[in-house]
Structure 1
Amino acid sequence: MDDAQPVATVVAAKPFQPGATRMVGFRRRSWFFRVLLGETAGFVVPGLAWFAVWKAVLPPPGAAAIVALSGAAEGAALGIAQWLTLREWHAGFSRTWILASAAGASVAWACGMTPSTAHDLGSPTWLSIALGVSLAPVLLLSLPGAQWLVLRRYVPKAWKWVIWSTAGWLLALPPTFIGPAILPSDASSLQIAATWAISGMAMAAIIAAFTGYAMSRILQSTVANLDAGTLRAPG
């Protein structure tokens, strides 16, 4: 009789198993209200920073740097709101999402501040316009692109998030320009604060609804492919 002991076979765990660690399904309603609250609150931070540097009459480069850095707080608030819902979908979803969101938002604010800063420094109008046009793609892609670096670890074809999210920001950003633009030059501090808050809330509502729909589509497709056995690896 062969008395050799059976050999245990060790199978490496698949690095990509979103369905296996899902706690609950992706909840669009939770995403909407969390993102609405997080983005609205986060948008107040660079707003306050802009108001403070404007009142302090800081040199344009320093003022722009402060506002851009404060944009990281907005990105972090948004990232936390989104991460809380993504963590319900995947228990181990990385907190790096929050850091990526903060970095992407800071870059976006830096791009947004560059044209006006150049104008304040005395550059010709055509240069400010050229800077705005050339930096627009970076502004729009910086946040979704940074988040894509994290999301691609969990879902295939994560590049779809960049497209969906960028489209959402295209729809959501106009209120933040329209609101301040209609303020009179002699607007009071209260009027400025109220306009900024309303504009931020409108932007947050649009981005919360749009990206919630987008993320649900992406994750549902991922789970469906996993259940059908057609999902092989992220791409």
Structure 2
Amino acid sequence: MGMTDVEARADTDRRLYVRWVLANAIGEGVGLGGSFLVGAGLVVLLGAQFGPWFEVATAIAAVALGTLFEGVVVGYAQWRVLREPLPTLSRGSWVWATAIGAGVAWLLGMVPSTVISLVTGQVETTDAASAPTIAEPPLAVILLAAAGVGLLLGPVLASAQVVVLRRHVEHAWRWIPANAVAWAIALPLTYLGPSLMFDVGVNALGVGILLACVLAAGAVVGAVHGAVLVRLLRHPLDA
């Protein structure tokens, strides 16, 4: 006995949702994980040699890597899922939109930490004997702050995508709050991964922990905004 229209729609939505979650998990694992590993390698190899101004170079590299690795890889992985329900969505438009959002988000995310590192570095080199000791906040505080950052940067990541998405689906604006919630939940995992890696050491175990956290973050992001995406795709303008 064949499926009813409702059952067929539910099956299509379910398959799309699973593919979307996997695409985001793999995309973030390769893209964001790759960015983190390259950045960690630069810090370990060169950070002590060049001092606090190395933070500026690291920030610039992070923005470039975030745009190239995370933006392009995630954008391409997402497009491979979207091309079936949205056949007129071009690969270039979605990948570029994702890369632009990622680049701006990385830029905004790196500026505060870079400025703080420069200021504290200058204090230490100016008067090491009397320089105040700035204690690193507890991990729980860092993760809570990361959730707040995710709430702010999620819409930034989605902003260029919405410009593209609104040509293809109704109510595309819902993609903005969906990303805000998704990244508020997931971004703490991307802070936890590097922290645990440096605690364990930049070795096979540390890298494995980092990648596991990043993969989990990507899956969480995909699961949260994927639930909204499935609903958006029920009302395509392409139809």
Q: TM-score range by the shorter chain?
A: 0.7 to 0.9
Distance 1:198 1:210 in 2: 18
1:1-235 aligned at under 5 Å gives the runs 27-54=16-43, 55-57=45-47, 59-72=54-67, 73-95=69-91, 96-122=93-119, 139-182=153-196, 185=199, 187-220=201-234, 222-223=235-236
The structure-2 alpha-carbon separation of the partners of 1:120 and 1:109, relative to structure 1 and needing over 3 Å to count, comes to same
Distance 2:194 2:221 in 1: 19
Aligned partner of 1:171: which letter? I
Distance 1:226 1:186 in 2: 50
The structure-2 alpha-carbon separation of the partners of 1:184 and 1:152, relative to structure 1 and needing over 3 Å to count, comes to closer
Distance 2:206 2:18 in 1: 31
Aligned partner of 1:30: which letter? R
- TM-score normalised by structure 1 residue count: 0.73
Distance 1:169 1:133 in 2: 7
Distance 2:151 2:85 in 1: 30
Sequence identity of aligned pairs in percent? 30
The structure-2 alpha-carbon separation of the partners of 1:215 and 1:186, relative to structure 1 and needing over 3 Å to count, comes to closer
Tell me the matched-pair count: 197
Task: Say what the alpha-carbon RMSD is for the aligned residues.
Answer: 2.9
Give the conservation status (yes or no) of the 8 Å contact 1:111–1:138.
no
The structure-2 alpha-carbon separation of the partners of 1:90 and 1:46, relative to structure 1 and needing over 3 Å to count, comes to same
Structure (1 or 2) with the greater helix fraction: 2
The alignment partner of 2:37 has SS state of helix
Offset from partner CA, 1:68-113 (integer Å, 9 cap, x none): 1100121111111111111100211122111110111111112222
For structure 1, the 5+ residue unaligned runs are: 1-24, 228-235
Deviation at 1:119, TM superposition (A): 1.6
**Structure (1 or 2) with the larger CA radius of gyration:** 1
Deviation at 1:150, TM superposition (A): 0.5
Give the conservation status (yes or no) of the 8 Å contact 1:108–1:138.
no
Distance 1:35 1:179 in 2: 17
Deviation at 1:136, TM superposition (A): 6.5
For structure 2, the 5+ residue unaligned runs are: 1-11, 124-133, 135-141
* Aligned counterpart, 1:14: none
Deviation at 1:183, TM superposition (A): 5.0
- TM-score normalised by structure 2 residue count: 0.72
Greater mean alpha carbon deviation, residues 157-166 or residues 180-189 = 180-189
Give the conservation status (yes or no) of the 8 Å contact 1:46–1:68.
no
Aligned partner of 2:17: which letter? R
